[in-house]
Amino acid sequence: MQFNSVKVACFSPTGTTKAVAVAIAGGLGSGRMDVIDATRPETRARPLRVGESDLLVIAVPVYMGRVPDLVGEWLNAIEARNTPTVCAVVYGNRAFEDALLELKDIMIGRGCIPVAGAAFIGEHSFSSAEAPVAAGRPDQNDLALAKAFGQSVRRKLQAFSSPRDVPIVDVPGNHPYNGDTKTRDIDFIEVNDWCDQCGVCIDACPAGAIDQQDPRVIDVAACITCCACIKLCPNAARTMKPGPIMDVAIRLNRLCDTPKAPEYFLQGGVLAAHWAADTGPSAE
């Protein structure tokens, strides 16, 4: 099976999901790679169109065990026709729950053929120096595994002459999906005097929740608690206030400190069991 291009579509406020998706695509071996980063609102305003001669890698972070509500509308506007698709989710070392199954279902509904799935670990959005959660993930070992996973997908597809002949992959999850995709309205970001209004946070915010004229002003109803503005601020001017979000971060630091391995699904999860046992992630 030959492809005109590999298209990488991702939603990645802090860059971890994008790094995994690009690494997977790197293992697929196509000379041409198009990256569509749907983190920015203006990108999500344009529907993605892919065809049978494309190979799609679609990747999103896990929010409360589900696909992020903010990116759902864009995903459900994708126009595809028998497009072989690799579905990937990235989670903060707790659990990916129903997110991978939900992403697979969305892609089937848009005309894609999910041929493989994966769940990778990325630094949790609430992670900090004081309460690290999967700090530094994906690391170089994770990205090497992502590339190797892409190579395995390529070998699978080479056995078929048409995308319509490839069996749809089985992934874990529940119907109906568990968990609530709606984020709570919480004023949890502190902006200190180091803020020089450089605008990096405004550009980084996927929800457009930061005031264009005064970045100290945050629309808490629009905020999705991705913490991109905190992590990407060049002056460390934005921190997490004491309160419910910090409490969650401390709890995750305590309960999710054992590094988890990525999981991979080509058919039946056999590859996942083999790689997780034999390779595993490097220490954080």
- Spatial CB neighbours of 11, under 8 Å, sequence gap ≥ 6: 17, 37, 38, 39, 59, 60, 61, 68, 70, 71, 74, 206
Q: Is the pLDDT of residue 9 over 70?
A: yes
* pLDDT for the residue numbered 181: 75
Q: Where are the domains of the chain?
A: 5-177+260-265, 189-240
Per-residue pLDDT tens over the stretch 135-191:
999 999 999 999 999 999 999 999 899 888 999 999 999 999 998 777 778 999 999
- The answer to which of 29-33, 61-65, 95-99, 276-280 has the lowest mean pLDDT is 276-280
> Which of 256, 210, 235, 231 is CA-nearest to residue 16?
231
Q: What is the pTM of this model?
A: 0.92
> Which of 75, 123, 120, 77 is CA-nearest to residue 102?
75
Q: Is the pLDDT of residue 268 over 60?
A: no
* pLDDT for the residue numbered 182: 75
Per-residue pLDDT tens over the stretch 48-63:
999 999 999 999 999 9
Q: Is 46 left (phi over 0), alpha (psi -120 to 50) or beta?
A: beta
Residue 204, exposed/middle/buried by CB under 10 A (0-12, 13-18, 19+)? buried
| Residue 263 in tokens | 């999981």
- The answer to which of 13-22, 62-71, 180-189 has the lowest mean pLDDT is 180-189
**CATH architecture of structural domain 5-177+260-265:** 3-Layer(aba) Sandwich (3.40)
Q: Does domain 189-240 have CATH number 3.40.50.170?
A: no
